[in-house]
Amino acid sequence: MTYLVDTNVLLRIIQVNHSMHADAIRAAATLSDQGHELFVVGQNLIEFWAVATRPESSNGLALSIANTAAHIETFKQTFSILPDTPEIYLEWERLAQAHAVNGRQSHDTRLVAAMLVHGVTHILTFNTDDFKRYDEITVVDPKTIFEEESK
């Protein structure tokens, strides 16, 4: 199967003291070990940069530019990057209208559009409710990967 790794998972991967860190690491490693393909898009890396470099007082991680860039390099080596294409916008526009998307939901809709254009079937995210409206994809919480592996 193919998975898009959502930005919140990327953030938890680097936050060693976060309660979701172990789930993020374990899910990515387990899926990779099982032979699943894990992808990101440029938008994930841009969103990661925005949160990583934002001050803690603004709900960011307050990382330096150099530290943030190093994490992004690691992600680029770990996950395949899907290219932005003009078709993604057209698919986003279709989805936004079909699902009555507004506000911040527009960003998640663009991730779904990229998935559909590139044939990615699953999204690995802690924010499962943000993607439930899209019947075209399968939403997977990283915690469930470990639960399934334990059975």
Tens of pLDDT, residue by residue, the chain (151 residues): 999 999 999 999 999 999 999 999 999 999 999 999 999 999 999 999 999 999 999 999 999 999 999 999 999 999 999 999 999 999 999 999 999 999 989 999 999 999 999 999 999 999 999 999 999 999 999 999 866 544 4
Where do the domains of the chain lie, and which CATH numbers do they carry?
2-41+81-150 (3.40.50.1010)
So what's the pLDDT on residue 59?
93
Q: Distance between CA 144 and CA 142 in Å, rounded?
A: 5
So what's the pLDDT on residue 151?
46
This prediction's pTM? 0.94
Long-range contacts of 71-79 (CB under 8 A, 24+ apart): 71/14, 72/45, 72/48, 75/10, 75/40, 75/44, 75/45, 75/48, 76/45, 78/28, 78/38, 79/5, 79/38, 79/39, 79/40
| Overall size of the chain counted in residues | 151
